Amino acid sequence: MVEQKDQGGETLRFEAEVAKLLSLMVHSVYSNRDVFLRELISNAADACEKLRMKSLQQPDLLGDDPDFKIVLSADKDGGTLSIADNGIGMDRTELVENLGTIARSGTKAFLDGMTGGDGSALIGQFGVGFYSAFMVASSVEVVSRPAGSDEAWRWWSDGAGTFQLEPVPLEEAPARGTRVLLTLTDEAKTYAEQATIERVVAEYSAHVPVPIVLRIGGDGVGEKSLADGSALWRKAKSAVETSEYNEFYGHVSGQYDEPAVTIHYKAEGRHEYSVLLFVPSMKPFDLFDPERRGRVKLYVRRVYITDEADILPGWLRFVRGVIDSEDLPLNLSREMLQKNPILDAIGKGVTNRILSDLDKLAEKEAETFEKVWEAFGAVIKEGLYEDAERRDGIYKIARFRSTKGDGWRSLADYVADLRPNQTAIYYALGDDLDAIKASPQLEGFARRGIEVLLLADPVDAFWVRTALGFDGKPFQSVTQGSAELDTIPVAEGEAETDAASESAIGTLAALFQQALGERVSAVRASSRLTTSPVCLVAGAGGPDRQLEKILSAQNQTMPRGAPVLELNPGHALIKGLAEKAAAGGHAEVLEDAAVLLYGEARILDGEAPENAADHVARVGRLLTAALG
């Protein structure tokens, strides 16, 4: 919104969320102020890389200045610091869009998460780096001239809610690119000192792919190279220190954690390419973005191409880093990227290498791998239903919670502990682990010492349906079909139960079926219950109960199939009802019992009775009869 105009300039108000963000930057995020310089240098490097890419089609944009660089100029006496680049530059519209508004949900998420802690992690996590300049500056001026343009614009703000925008004479602007000038606050003037700047650049920006030069004093005296723009991924692994990897990871990921896994190698053969990838130890903020977009930067012979190429599958979208190809053409278009067989081959090779390295990590450093799995297991499991070619490799590294203790279990662990006559890998689906553990359907499995995988991630309901099995053992839901547990012996120390006769249970089941009608597809005796009187399960041919619930929530018009009501022949209540059913009569009591037990089974499944008023009325009727 424009508030006033004066001699070609105008004052505009920040988007509301940005104004709030600037206030928080100034007053709240002080735990690591160094990050502002890292963010501004990263922005400058990105601008250079964008122009490098664009100049492949328009070489004249480079003019007589083909070498990219970032220049830091500090004036200790004046209390200023500038970060200048000779990259792509911004026009008026881009200045407003990039610095006055944020057209994505990252800002709101940042604000919602601003409840204390390390603000630097929040900056890196939510991508609001430019605004970190207001942690150290009383005002920020941005002068930018797009490459190939004869116009330049000045953006200025003190972070108080508005910003000014005006054209500037070309002699006051860079030949191309952007210059950010910070007027430092009194407590932040150390950032105009050479020692401080060198320390911060060495810690955070030593490996950006653009040279960085420091000038002390307004006349440029004392120019010093702080980074040569060398490509870390092209170096031999033995020549790179862990600290260098960590610095570079911060640059390419925008995060402030340390990588859990570093993958660095050079592939030679049919296709030649260099790889430097990182598995984060902290979840990126966009991990579950519906677009499932990857964040691996693609280079061709050290020339930046894009960070939006679909090199890795969606289930590896948390991986960050660089892939640099020797074989791809430099003039890649978006259409060529989508259909390029070389890129497909690189993606396949890199994906296999990531899986292999994760498998090695699981074997050699189980504790580290489990932290990776806790952060990204739900995403990796997406590959189990969408990447059949690598399903076996994902099975090897997959880890699960189960009824056998609180630790993580592999499928190999599960198969090694199969009970006598057990022919399937059993699993239970649910919204969370506690709810699954309370499921009555687990009782018969626990009685026989059968391990059950506890699957609480939404993706689990989908991959298990398409999974063919592991090591010759099919996956079987504990809430689907008949459990067929009678052939598996009861665990040692578990007593046999005194059950109602088959004929009495059969009679009761028939009466329950008649009372419930189409609400259930069948009523039968259960081998999976030991302490609960009833439970609901899905039929053998339909989807699991949890999957059906998820699909129904996504599509309100999709009808749900009628479940099977299973009765526990050893439960005192069921035995008593079976005796009444066998003796004849008691029709009203048995009908009430059928409806109430069906409602109880729904409650145990996390759902309400179908007709709450009717349910309450029947409870009242039974209580009144008991008192009489």
Please report, in range form, the residues annotated as the binding site for ATP.
39, 43, 85, 90, 98, 105-106, 125-130, 178, 334
> Do 244 and 202 form a contact (C-beta atoms < 8 A)?
no
Find residue 300's DSSP bridge partners.
Answer: 303, 325
Residue 25 near residue 161, CB atoms below 8 Å: no
- Per DSSP, the three-state class of 102 is coil
Annotated binding site: 39, 43, 85, 90, 98, 105-106, 125-130, 178, 334
Whole-number Cα distances in Å, 39 to 221, 256, 322, 443? 26, 12, 19, 55
Length in residues, the chain: 628
End-to-end CA distance of the chain: 76
Using left for φ > 0, alpha for ψ between -120 and 50, and beta otherwise, residue 421 falls in: left
Could you tell me the CA-to-CA distances from 555 to 167, 462, 480, 519, 552 in Å, in that order?
53, 16, 22, 20, 5
Task: Please answer whether residues 595 and 514 qualify as being in contact, where contact means their C-beta atoms are separated by less than 8 angstroms.
Answer: no
Backbone angles phi, psi at 328, to 5 degrees: -70, 150
Per DSSP, the three-state class of 95 is: helix
Pick the closest to residue 581 from 571, 595, 572, 591 (CA basis): 591
Strand ranges (E), 498-600: 522-525, 534-537, 564-567
Q: Distance between CA atoms of 396 and 384, rounded to whole angstroms?
A: 11
User: Which secondary structure element, helix H or strand E, spans residue 473, and what is its range?
Assistant: none
**Residue 318 in contact with residue 286, Cβ under 8 Å?**
no
Please give the structure tokens belonging to residue 321.
Answer: 């880093």
d(CA 281, CA 259): 5
Tokens (6 digits) for 14:
């920040």
Strands 320-325 and 273-279: antiparallel
3-state helix, strand, coil in the chain (%, to 5): 45, 20, 40
